[in-house]
């Protein structure tokens, strides 16, 4: 046998000895020594990436979600990885260095809303910040959570307070977390804690009056949308970077597709029919839309306008329009509480537009999109005034002025007077659509009849099975004097008030 072959055989035997040592007592295999690596000639070895030294200070962040790089300048990471923020000047995207994980020691751009300071409450798996009460119940009762799953969230009813939500045999119980003057936290006054971590640790060991001992934190849902497609945040993107996958639907202005940007990111692509808008007006309006960001508004990512058809690239909502959703099997079985919750989400998005002094002009169920877990987001805000196309639901009061008449306030139809208050009128019609599972408003009337009878004081009667309090809100939205109509902020808190029932503390909540 040649010398090289003898050496190779010896190395292989030596490797086997180190990798599968035997117990001296019973001969069973025991774990290999992790600190010993045997290199066999002609073979390569792979080892876990080394962790970079973790710097001191407040620049270290914990990844809350997985992120896969979309461009060669981005940095991939997994939930739980630690990263050092090197430059935050870009705002929504930071230049960072991975300290742990598969990208350890590498640098690149990361979405800022995917990370939290490593020692902060935001980095805790059980902290769900601005999650609403009903959203907490949906999250905790979703698949994957078991008895004792929990989360801590900001209280809806009292600013600055916290609430503890716990899954108890398929139902969710809510408890107030209060603070003493010295800053200590408590659920029951006979047991206080210096930090929330200590509170969670205690109730993870003892139920101590809670409905259940705290077990695993609630499972996180899908990661949030990044602000923009990448740190470059290009406005006009190459058409070649968009791949259309499947047609989701069609409307009066064009078709909507599920697409893929840069072969990495799922997006929605709206293709606009040639001649449906003035391109300059559209680009001016779209520039404004791109800067308006809110969790209940569809995010506009980019456009392709160099050639027709124009592409509008937005975030993807898998369940399509609210109108279609309400008419389908899943949506048609919604409970009243879920219908009201979806209406509250729309009001939340519109309340933000209200604060920005921005008008939608075409608020309707067809222009609200639905994602997973009945998440609703307002879409197409601002586009109504740049579209120029006929439709069976459009009423032309004057030459060149067209409206979806059954959704449009009388002052907008008669005087072309659009305002946030005309959007409030439309919201009342949208409530009718939600309560009736997508029925056409004024079902027995033509557009012409609606235009004639509304100024005379006619209003739709309450739909079957509509709670009086909901119909009262509709009627408030349909006040003749637009200044008497409620604000969207008021509409939001009135709708959310249906669910404002947090338990004060378990000291006086024995019924729970």
pLDDT tens for residues 365-412?
999 999 988 899 999 887 766 554 334 443 343 434 456 899 999 999
Can you tell me the distance from the alpha carbon of 413 to that of 137, in angstroms, rounded to the nearest whole number? 42
Check if the beta carbon of residue 15 is closer than 8 Å to that of residue 6.
no
Can you state the percent helix, strand and coil of the chain, rounding each to 5? 30, 20, 45
Helix axes 468-477 and 488-496, enclosed angle (nearest 10): 180
Domains in the chain, ordered, with CATH? 60-116 (2.30.30.40), 124-222 (3.30.505.10), 239-314 (3.30.200.20), 322-385+401-499 (1.10.510.10)
Among the listed residues 362, 366, 297, the one whose alpha carbon sits nearest the alpha carbon of residue 326? 366
Check if the beta carbon of residue 72 is closer than 8 Å to that of residue 229.
no
Which residue carries 């509409």 as its tokens?
491
Query: pLDDT tens, 164-212?
Result: 999 999 999 999 999 999 999 999 988 999 999 999 999 999 999 999 9
Residue 112 CA: distances (Å) to CA of 65, 95, 124, 258: 11, 9, 17, 26
Helical segments of 277-370, H only: 279-291, 322-327, 329-332, 336-355
Does residue 476 have an active-site annotation? no
Check if the beta carbon of residue 219 is closer than 8 Å to that of residue 144.
yes
Query: pLDDT tens, 480-499?
Result: 999 999 999 999 989 988 76
Q: Spot the catalytic one: 362, 380, 423, 502.
A: 362
Which residue carries 């378990």 as its tokens?
506
Among the listed residues 434, 480, 475, the one whose alpha carbon sits nearest the alpha carbon of residue 457? 480
- What confidence category does residue 17 fall into, taking pLDDT thresholds of 50, 70 and 90? very low
Q: Model pTM?
A: 0.76
Residue 227: exposed, middle, or buried by beta-carbon count in 10 A (0-12, 13-18, 19+)?
A: middle
């Amino acid at each position: 046998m040649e010398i090289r072959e003898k050496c190779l055989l010896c190395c292989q035997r030596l490797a086997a000895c180190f990798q599968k040592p035997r117990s001296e007592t019973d001969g069973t295999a025991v774990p290999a020594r992790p600190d010993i690596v045997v290199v066999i000639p002609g073979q390569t070895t792979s080892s876990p990436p080394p962790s970079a030294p973790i710097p001191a200070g407040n620049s270290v962040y914990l990844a809350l979600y997985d992120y896969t790089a979309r461009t060669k300048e981005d940095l991939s990471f997994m939930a739980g990885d630690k990263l050092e923020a090197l430059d935050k000047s870009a705002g929504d995207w930071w230049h960072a260095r991975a300290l742990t994980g598969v990208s350890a020691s590498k640098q690149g751009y990361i979405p800022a809303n995917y990370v939290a300071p490593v020692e902060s409450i935001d980095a805790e798996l059980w902290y769900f910040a601005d999650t609403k009460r009903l959203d907490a119940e949906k999250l905790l009762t979703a698949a994957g959570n078991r008895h004792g799953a929990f989360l801590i969230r900001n209280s809806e009813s009292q600013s600055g307070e916290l609430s503890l939500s716990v899954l108890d045999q398929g139902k969710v119980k809510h408890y107030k977390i209060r603070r003493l003057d010295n800053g200590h936290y408590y659920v029951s006054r006979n047991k206080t804690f210096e930090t929330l971590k200590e509170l969670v640790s205690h109730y993870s060991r003892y139920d101590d009056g809670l409905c259940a001992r705290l077990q695993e934190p609630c499972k996180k849902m899908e990661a949030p949308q990044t602000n923009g497609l990448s740190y470059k945040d290009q406005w006009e993107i190459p058409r070649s970077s968009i791949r259309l996958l499947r047609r989701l639907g069609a409307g009066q202005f064009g078709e909507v597709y599920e697409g893929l940007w840069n072969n990495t990111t799922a997006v929605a692509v709206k293709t606009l029919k040639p001649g449906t808008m003035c391109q300059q007006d559209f680009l001016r309006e779209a520039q404004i839309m791109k800067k308006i960001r809110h969790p209940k508004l569809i995010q506009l990512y980019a456009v392709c306008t160099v050639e027709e058809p124009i592409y509008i690239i937005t975030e993807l909502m898998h369940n399509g329009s609210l109108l279609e959703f309400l008419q389908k099997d899943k949506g048609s079985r919604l409970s009243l509480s879920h219908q009201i919750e979806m209406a509250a989400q729309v009001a939340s998005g519109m309340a933000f537009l209200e604060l920005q002094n921005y008008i939608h002009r075409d608020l309707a169920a067809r222009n609200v999109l639905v994602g997973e877990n009945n998440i609703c987001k307002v879409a197409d805000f601002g586009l109504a005034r740049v579209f120029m196309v006929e439709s069976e639901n459009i009423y032309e009061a004057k030459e060149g002025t067209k409206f979806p008449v059954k959704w449009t306030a009388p002052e907008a139809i008669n005087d072309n007077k659009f305002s946030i208050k005309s959007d409030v009128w439309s919201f009342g019609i949208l409530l009718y659509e939600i309560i009736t599972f997508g029925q056409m408003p004024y079902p027995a009337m033509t557009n012409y009849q609606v235009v004639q009878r509304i100024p005379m004081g006619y209003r739709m009667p309450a739909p079957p099975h509509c709670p009086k309090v909901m119909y009262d809100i509709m009627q408030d939205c349909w006040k003749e004097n637009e200044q008497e109509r409620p604000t969207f902020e008021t509409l939001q808190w009135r709708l959310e008030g249906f669910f404002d029932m947090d338990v004060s503390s378990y000291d006086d909540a024995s019924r729970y």
